[in-house]
Every structure is written in structure tokens, then in C-alpha cells.
């Protein structure tokens, strides 16, 4: 058999489809099945090969900042400074290793989710029933389905009995689709092909036989997976900011180095000192390299990676697996969260919440109510007894001992209702077994079952309220049966309308006595005794109302995008606080009729989109991105994958398809909206901590540059050796910078609006903090060199080095908050910062040991008195930083009070 991916099997009769596939109702032979398995391959989606470890490792060296450092290291080798270049290369390799390990850990987490289940399939081969791995199903196989099965491959139905299938993973529809076997007469979309079944869908009711038409990448899901391979992922805001920042920094450093090199050579040329020009040029070049080393925060890439990894670990504890490291920070800048309804905002569990019997007001049912321990009396029952017994008996769903629910979600809700009220469904069904049935179909909108109850033949019917009400001639009131008048019918209809207005799904129940032994037919579905109504809904998760409120207070707009009906979506939206007065909703069809300009005008008012297509989702995400808003998108189905990849951050559900997970930056293990908001808080904290680390690193580097430039123009000795600067930048500074990455969330982190997408790393007051603190560090080093030079030039260098190191170490406390003082925060509230400072002080002590100090150009006469002077100068500079911070904070508070600042 040749591969045929264009045949429209839904337009063929079932027998013709079997013939086209060179099969029969007895199935393929084992030999033919094996041959087709070899020809078509396994029935599985092609997984995009992950990059080899070596390639992930080398990707780390493409960063502009890293390239600059590699250039500096090569220059160090050329000029003979092998030790300095070796240190640079060691740090760069360490950063690459960290990034590679994190990427591989994320892949491992995703793989563990993939291996949670490997479904099997029931097929007919050689006229016999076999159970095989779903990966071994081939085109032409005759496949058997029953409630609880996953559809292993696409196929054309041959037989179907009360078949309902959930195709949400493919179509986005949350409601089970009613299936039939008849031939369609015109081309239809996937969701309207009622005689076809599709891979990954789940059977919730009935049973069926179908002939497999396509497997693996030829299935509808495979086609979407194939499209995804051609979609490029977007850069995150952090990646973009670091790339832009690195390029600008690189240009600035090169210009400064050229300027200083030129000044020194020009000065030597115009004011000869007797030193050969060749030596002057070499010394000036080395000095320029020292400036480059001082300016570039060599450990920045490593620190950003480590801080993001810390955020990843924190998020994993909050049920979020990060697949792409920069996604940690992206969450913190998210302005828009486009979220699915079912399972994310709601429990994904249809639940009976109210029921109604005539002459009684509607009664609510506690959603989390536990089943009663003692069952009720089944011999003498009233209208409430009958309603619950009917819910248990006219019902095909099953709840197994292990809690697994099999069947239509609506019927499962009825079974749970009966159990909650003490009418244990298994016991009721044992006492009153089903003797006959009329299965539900979409034309009648009814289902009937026949039982022998208290020695009487009883037919119980459930279905659409308008049909049950119109066909009822009597009504059960308490234990009495009375005539069903038009007034009573109208009262029941009014109650049904109230339920419908609240977007509740309503089923009505009726019964009638039948002659014992009579075979029931659809003509008997009339002349009912009306029992009551049961109203159901997929209720919101308990924690989602608080999560939505928290999102809004953080300046984040949550938007519901669902395949469900608009009325239901809006009702849920109102219930959880997502849809408020003045908000509007659109269906996918209504959205298609809007121009881009019209959508842009309405965009900020739309809180709910219903009955949407994959194309609609991509358009919604794109509309927000045009407004420069960082947009997150949740999804679980293959149909969600393109939008997940187009969003700034795609969030896949842990229970979703592998295609969705592969397209996403993050996987939500518990499928819970509240977990997204918790992850946003972590993301904001991570970004804030990265900026604290950047402030710490660059203010220290700026201080070094200021002191070097001052020495150049003052005619002093170069205050630092290249090794001293590399030691501070790559060893000493790294430890406090990482510790700052472990700061807890600042007070009010979730009460501020998200930062703007185009806000650079130096925005939001960061540049001002770097400049002010850098000036204080620079002045401290200059003063220390001046004091040391009174003894000797070498002592000046030693004093400048130790003071620079101490000032940069102690300013760690000042960098813990942009506005709050170290005293207000508490020195010991971050034990990692305290530990980092102690380690840095210990490293300085190690450098000052006699066997080591010579390597760092510390003269033998450097004493504890010199160290004390350096410490005092450094401490004073940090106190000035705190004073400047307090002044700045007082101005902010004043502007806030005048409503002139919104932060």
C-alpha cells in the first residue's frame, strides 16, 4: 500500500474507505501489519532532535560581551600576561558549563513528563482481537474503542454506538463531540467531521470500530507539529536587553581605550621623558587593556546564568518547569496573560452545583462536600430520593475504586452528586439493575433506562429540560404525584432560564411506570412524571479568584481565550473577577470580522474570547505585541502550539500534548493559573536581583575607571595591575553578585505595574545608582592612593587596590535595595550576602599573606594600619551611598504623595 495523505475519507462510505486502504473488517494479517509498520514507520510524532551538548556549550560564546572578553584574553597572551588570560578563559568556560547543565536539566524534566504514559490500542488482525502498543498501529488496521480509551491514530468510523469523544487537544473544543458513521457530502473542517476520529482524542462515552487512515506525522496532529518546526522562537526581553547593552558597552569601552591610548602616546610625543617610543606605545597599550579589563564585568554572564538558575529552582517548587532559562525573567515583565479556561481557571471537572424540585426553591450543592457515610433508605423515597436515584441509574459513567472517572463529564457529575447525597451509585445500580436502555442521541436529546423498582417497571429519562417539561403530564411533589399544569410548567421553565442565565448546564429528569416485560421504544418517551432539574458547571478553582485579583493589582491584564461558548466563558469570567463592567467579549467568528484597526481600538476592553481558532490566538498575541506588551499564552493542545511559540512566553500545561510542551518556554505542572502568578512574582524578583547584581558590578567597575582616569590626568602611577583588576572582577565581585541574586522579593513587588518592554537594563533608576555609587567608590580609591603615595608609589597602588576591593565588597549591603537602607532591611535578612562579604574579606586576608602579596604588587611594608585606613575610607564611601539613597527615596515619596510618580 502506498502512502496517501490527500484522500478525504470522510466523504467516502465506510466500506469504500476500507477498500481504499486495502483492508477488510477482519483486519490486516500480522505479516501485512509488520510490512506496513516498516513502510510507514512507527505511529508517533517526529521529535525535533535536541542540540548536542557540544553545540549548546559553544552557543554560550556568541554573546557580544563574551566575545569582547575573549579578545581581551588574547591580548593578554600577546603581551605576556598568561595568568590573567587563563583566569578569563576559566570563568567563561564555567559560565558555558552552567548554561549547558541547566538546558539539559530542563530537557530531562520534560522527558519525564513524556514517559508518564505509553497507551496501548486494541486492534483486529486476522479476525482476532489483539492489544498492541499504540506506536505499532498502521494504516488499514481495524481499531476498537470504548469509554476511557485514547484514539491511537486518525481513522474513519465503521461502527459507533453512543460515541462521544473529547477532541480538545486538537480542536480546542472542551465539549465532547457526538460521532456517527454516515458519509459527509461536503468538505468540512476537522471539528465538523463527525465520522472521523483523531489521534490523542479521548473516548468519554460509547464504543466504536474504525479503520485507521493515517499514523504518525501524517495525522492531523502531526501536520501541526510539522508546521511548528518552521516557526522561530522570539528573543526574550532580557536576551534583547543584554545583547543591545553588550554592543553599546563594547563600543564605549573600545572608544575609551583608544582615547586613553592616544592621550598617553600624544603626551609622550609632545613631552619626551627619555623613554623609547616603542616602550611608551607598549605600556600605553597595556594600560588600555587594563582599562578594558576594569570596565568589563567578566563575571556578568555567569552571574546572570546563576541567578536565572536560582529562579528556575524556585519556580520548580511552585509547579513550574522552565525549559528556556531566560523565560524566568520574561515572566517578570509580563503585562498580558492569555489563559485558557478549562483546567487552568476552572477545575476541569463538570460538577453539579444546584438542583430543583417543584414546590421547593433551588438548592445549592456544596462543591467539595464529602459523600455521606450511611446510604439512604431506598424502599420509601420522595422527590429528592427519586432525583438522586435517577441521576445514578440513567447514567453510563463509572468511578473506579482508584478514583478514575470513565464516561461523559456530565454523567460523571451526576454520579458524584448521587454519591455525595448518600445514594451510593454502585449500590443503587446493584439493587435496581438496568434491564433495557434507549441510548442518548443528538436528535432526541434524551436517554432512557428501564429498571424494576419496588416491584414496578419504571423507565427513567433524562435530557433537555424543554423536552422533558413539555412531555410531562404529572409532577412528583414530595411523595405525592399531582397534575402538571401550565402554571407549574412555566414555573419550572423560569427556573431553567435562571440556571441558563448563569451559564449552568441543565438536565431534566422524568419517569413513568411501564408494563413489566414490555420492550421500551422512543415512542414511550412521553407522558412523564417530572422529577426535577440538575444544574452543572465546571467551577472555578478555589485559588483562582485571589490569583486574578493579584494579577490585576500587579498591573497584569488576564484574558480568557477558550473554545467554549461565550455565555459560559463570560459567566466564569465574572465569577472570578476577570470580566468586569465595561469589558467586552468576542467569539472567533466576530473577531474574524474585525479589521486590524478595529481590533486595535477595542483590544484593551476585551477580556474574553470564545470559540476561537489557532489563527485567532496568534492574531490576539500579535495585537498585544504591536502595543509593545510582553504577552504570555497558555495552552495544552496541538492547536495551541503555534500561538505558544509566537508569544513572548508560552506556558504549556503539564497534562497537555508533547507538541505544546515543545513549543513552550515553561510547563505548568499543576495546570493552575495561580501558579502562573506565583511564577510572575519569582520572575519580577529575579529581574530585580539581576539589576542589583548589575548595579553592584558596574558601580565597582566605574569606580575603578574613575580612579584610573584620574591617575592618568594627574600623572600618577597606574593605580592597579591587570591581575588585581581581574581578581576583583572575576573572583571577588562574583560572590557578592551571586548573593544579591538570592535576595527575597522586595515589599510591594506585586503591587507595581510591569516594566516597559523596551526598558533597558540601565532603566528604572539603575543608571543613576551606578553613577552615584561608582563616583563614591572612585573617590575612595583616589583618596587611598593619595594617602599611600605619601609613603611610596607602590604603597599608593596597594592602598588603592585594597580600598577598591573593600569599597566594592561593603557596597553589597547598599545594593540590596534601591531605596531602603541596609539598616531597615536588616543586615542578616539575607544570610548569603553576609557569607559573601565574609568570604571576600577572607580572600583579601589571603592576598595580604606574605607568600601571596608579592604576586598582587603589595609591598612588604604594607601593615595593618594601612589596611585599617583603607577599611575606614571604604566604609565612609558606603555611608555616603546610603545617604544618597535616603535623599533619593525622600524625593520619590514626595512625588508619590503629589501623584506625580507611579511606581
Pull the grid cell for residue 735.
Answer: 560572590
CA distance linking residue 245 with residue 760, whole number of Å: 8
Mark residue 191 as left, alpha or beta (left: phi above 0; alpha: psi -120 to 50; beta: remaining).
alpha
Q: Nearest 5 degrees, angle CA 769-CA 775-CA 777? A: 100
CA distance linking residue 342 with residue 671, whole number of Å: 10
* Nearest by Cα to 824 from 813, 809, 832, 839: 813
* Nearest by Cα to 788 from 778, 777, 801, 770: 801
3-state helix/strand/coil string of 2-20? CCCCCCCHHHCCHHHHHHH
Q: Cβ atoms within 10 A of the Cβ of 898, count?
A: 8
Strand bridging mode 154-166 / 202-214: antiparallel
- CA 194, 198, 204, 206 dihedral sign is positive
Q: DSSP assignment of 475-502, as one string?
A: EEETTEEEE--HHHHHHHHHHHHHHHHT
CA distance linking residue 562 with residue 325, whole number of Å: 28
- Encode burial over 469-505: b for 16+ CB neighbours within 10 A, e otherwise: bebbebbbbeeeeeebeeebbeebeebbeebeebbbb
Contacts 24+ apart (CB under 8 A), 264-273: 264/712
* Nearest by Cα to 435 from 513, 520, 510: 520
- Cβ contacts of 210 within 8 Å, gap of 6 or more: 142, 143, 145, 155, 156, 157, 158, 197
Residues annotated catalytic, as ranges? 340
Cell numbers 448546564 label which residue?
A: 505
Pull the grid cell for residue 689.
Answer: 536581583
Q: 346 vs 90, 340, 568, 674, 835, CA distance in Å?
A: 50, 9, 12, 11, 45
Q: 10 vs 7, 181, 362, 837, CA distance in Å?
A: 9, 9, 45, 72
CA distance linking residue 296 with residue 68, whole number of Å: 8
Q: Nearest 5 degrees, angle CA 774-CA 775-CA 781? A: 90
Please check whether residue 710 is in contact with residue 778, taking contact to mean a CB–CB distance below 8 angstroms.
yes
* Nearest by Cα to 649 from 424, 339, 884: 339
CA distance linking residue 536 with residue 538, whole number of Å: 7
Q: Nearest 5 degrees, angle CA 116-CA 122-CA 123? A: 135
Please check whether residue 689 is in contact with residue 742, taking contact to mean a CB–CB distance below 8 angstroms.
yes
Q: 750 vs 64, 108, 332, 554, 556, CA distance in Å?
A: 33, 32, 10, 5, 10
CA distance linking residue 516 with residue 871, whole number of Å: 101
- Encode burial over 113-145: b for 16+ CB neighbours within 10 A, e otherwise: beeeeeebbbbbbeeeebebebbbbbbbbbbbb
* Nearest by Cα to 357 from 192, 197, 472: 472
* Nearest by Cα to 619 from 636, 871, 598: 598
Pull the grid cell for residue 338.
Answer: 492569555
Q: Residue 263's Cα: distance from chain center in Å?
A: 53
CA distance linking residue 290 with residue 708, whole number of Å: 9
* Nearest by Cα to 660 from 237, 221, 326: 221
Amino acid at each position: 500500500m502506498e502512502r496517501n495523505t490527500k484522500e478525504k475519507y470522510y466523504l467516502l462510505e465506510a466500506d469504500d474507505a476500507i477498500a481504499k486502504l486495502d483492508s477488510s473488517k477482519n483486519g490486516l494479517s500480522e505479516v501485512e501489519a509488520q510490512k506496513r509498520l516498516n513502510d510507514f514507520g512507527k505511529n508517533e510524532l517526529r521529535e525535533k532532535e535536541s542540540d548536542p551538548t557540544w553545540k549548546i556549550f559553544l552557543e554560550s560564546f556568541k554573546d557580544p560581551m563574551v566575545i569582547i572578553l575573549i579578545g581581551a584574553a588574547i591580548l593578554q597572551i600577546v603581551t605576556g600576561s598568561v595568568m590573567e588570560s587563563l583566569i578569563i578563559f576559566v570563568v567563561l568556560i564555567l559560565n558555558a558549563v552552567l548554561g549547558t547543565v541547566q538546558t539539559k536539566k530542563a530537557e530531562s524534566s520534560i522527558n519525564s513528563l513524556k514517559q508518564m504514559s505509553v497507551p496501548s490500542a486494541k486492534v483486529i488482525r486476522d479476525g482476532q482481537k489483539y492489544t498492541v502498543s499504540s506506536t505499532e498501529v498502521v494504516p488499514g488496521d481495524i481499531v476498537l474503542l470504548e469509554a476511557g480509551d485514547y484514539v491511537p491514530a486518525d481513522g474513519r468510523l465503521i461502527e459507533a454506538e453512543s460515541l462521544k469523544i473529547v477532541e480538545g487537544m486538537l480542536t480546542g473544543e472542551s465539549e465532547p463531540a457526538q460521532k456517527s458513521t454516515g458519509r459527509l457530502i461536503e468538505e468540512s473542517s476537522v471539528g465538523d467531521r463527525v465520522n472521523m476520529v483523531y489521534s490523542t482524542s479521548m473516548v468519554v462515552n460509547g464504543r466504536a470500530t474504525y479503520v485507521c487512515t493515517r499514523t504518525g506525522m501524517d495525522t492531523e496532529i502531526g501536520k501541526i507539529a510539522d508546521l511548528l518546526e518552521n516557526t522561530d522562537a522570539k528573543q526574550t526581553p532580557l536576551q534583547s536587553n543584554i545583547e543591545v547593552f553588550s554592543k553599546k558597552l563594547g563600543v564605549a569601552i573600545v572608544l575609551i581605550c583608544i582615547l586613553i591610548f592616544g592621550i598617553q602616546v600624544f603626551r609622550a610625543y609632545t613631552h619626551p621623558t627619555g623613554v623609547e617610543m616603542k616602550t611608551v606605545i607598549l605600556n600605553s597599550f597595556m594600560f588600555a587593556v587594563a582599562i578594558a579589563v576594569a570596565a568589563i564585568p567578566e563575571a556578568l554572564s555567569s552571574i546572570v546564568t546563576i541567578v536565572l538558575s536560582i529562579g528556575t529552582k524556585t519556580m520548580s517548587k511552585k509547579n513550574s518547569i522552565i525549559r528556556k532559562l531566560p523565560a524566568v525573567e520574561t515572566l517578570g515583565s509580563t503585562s498580558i496573560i492569555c489563559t485558557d479556561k478549562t483546567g487552568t481557571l476552572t477545575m476541569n471537572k463538570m460538577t453539579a452545583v444546584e438542583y430543583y424540585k417543584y414546590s421547593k426553591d433551588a438548592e445549592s450543592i456544596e462543591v467539595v462536600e464529602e459523600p455521606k457515610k450511611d446510604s439512604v433508605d431506598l424502599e420509601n423515597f420522595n422527590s429528592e430520593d427519586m432525583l438522586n436515584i435517577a441521576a445514578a441509574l440513567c447514567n453510563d459513567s463509572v468511578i473506579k475504586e482508584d478514583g478514575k472517572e470513565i464516561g461523559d463529564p456530565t454523567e460523571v457529575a451526576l454520579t458524584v452528586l448521587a454519591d455525595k447525597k448518600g445514594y451510593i451509585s454502585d449500590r443503587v445500580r446493584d439493587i435496581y439493575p438496568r434491564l433495557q436502555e434507549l441510548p442518548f442521541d443528538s436528535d432526541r436529546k434524551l436517554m432512557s433506562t428501564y429498571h424494576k423498582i419496588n416491584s414496578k417497571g419504571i423507565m427513567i429519562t433524562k435530557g433537555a429540560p424543554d423536552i422533558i417539561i413539555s412531555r410531562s403530564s404529572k409532577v412528583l411533589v414530595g411523595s405525592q404525584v399531582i397534575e402538571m399544569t401550565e402554571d407549574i410548567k412555566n414555573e419550572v421553565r423560569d427556573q431553567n432560564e435562571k440556571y441558563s442565565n448563569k451559564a449552568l448546564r441543565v438536565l431534566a429528569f422524568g419517569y413513568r411506570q411501564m408494563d413489566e416485560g414490555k420492550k421500551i421504544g422512543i415512542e414511550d418517551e412521553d407522558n412523564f412524571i417530572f422529577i426535577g432539574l440538575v444544574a452543572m458547571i465546571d467551577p472555578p478553582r478555589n485559588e483562582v479568584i485571589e490569583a486574578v485579583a493579584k494579577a490585576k493589582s500587579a498591573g497584569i491584564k488576564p484574558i480568557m481565550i477558550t473554545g467554549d461558548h461565550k455565555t459560559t466563558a463570560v459567566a466564569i469570567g465574572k465569577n472570578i473577577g476577570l470580566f468586569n463592567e465595561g469589558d467586552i467579549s468576542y467569539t472567533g467568528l466576530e473577531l474574524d470580522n474585525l479589521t486590524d484597526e478595529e481590533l486595535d481600538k477595542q483590544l484593551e476592553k476585551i477580556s474574553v474570547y470564545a470559540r476561537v481558532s489557532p489563527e485567532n490566538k496568534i492574531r490576539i498575541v500579535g495585537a498585544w505585541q504591536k502595543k509593545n506588551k510582553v504577552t504570555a499564552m497558555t495552552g495544552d493542545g496541538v492547536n495551541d502550539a503555534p500561538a505558544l511559540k509566537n508569544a513572548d512566553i508560552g506556558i504549556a500545561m503539564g497534562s497537555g500534548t508533547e507538541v505544546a510542551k515543545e513549543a513552550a518556554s515553561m510547563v505548568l505542572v499543576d495546570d493552575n493559573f495561580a501558579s502562573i502568578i506565583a511564577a510572575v512574582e519569582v520572575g519580577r524578583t529575579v529581574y530585580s536581583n539581576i539589576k542589583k547584581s548589575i548595579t553592584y558590578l558596574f558601580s565597582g567597575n566605574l569606580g575603578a575607571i574613575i580612579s584610573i582616569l584620574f591617575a592618568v590626568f594627574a600623572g600618577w602611577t597606574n593605580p592597579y595591575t591587570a591581575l588585581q583588576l581581574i581578581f576583583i572582577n572575576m573572583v571577588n565581585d562574583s560572590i557578592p553578585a551571586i548573593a544579591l541574586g538570592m535576595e527575597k522579593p522586595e515589599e510591594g513587588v506585586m503591587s507595581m505595574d510591569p516594566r516597559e518592554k523596551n526598558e533597558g537594563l540601565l532603566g528604572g533608576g539603575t543608571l543613576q545608582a551606578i553613577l552615584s555609587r561608582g563616583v563614591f567608590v572612585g573617590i575612595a580609591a583616589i583618596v587611598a592612593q593619595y594617602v599611600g603615595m605619601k609613603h611610596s608609589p607602590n604603597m599608593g597602588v596597594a592602598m588603592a587596590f585594597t580600598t577598591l576591593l573593600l569599597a566594592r565588597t561593603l557596597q553589597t549591603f547598599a545594593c540590596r535595595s534601591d531605596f531602603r537602607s541596609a539598616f531597615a532591611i536588616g543586615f542578616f535578612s539575607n544570610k548569603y550576602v553576609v557569607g559573601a562579604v565574609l568570604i571576600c574579606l577572607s580572600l583579601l586576608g589571603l592576598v595580604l599573606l606574605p607568600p601571596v602579596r608579592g604576586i598582587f604588587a603589595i609591598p612588604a611594608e604594607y601593615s595593618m594600619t594601612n589596611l585599617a585606613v583603607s577599611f575606614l575610607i571604604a566604609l565612609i564611601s558606603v555611608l555616603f551611598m546610603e545617604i544618597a539613597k535616603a535623599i533619593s527615596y525622600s524625593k520619590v515619596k514626595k512625588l508619590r504623595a503629589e501623584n506625580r510618580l507611579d511606581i
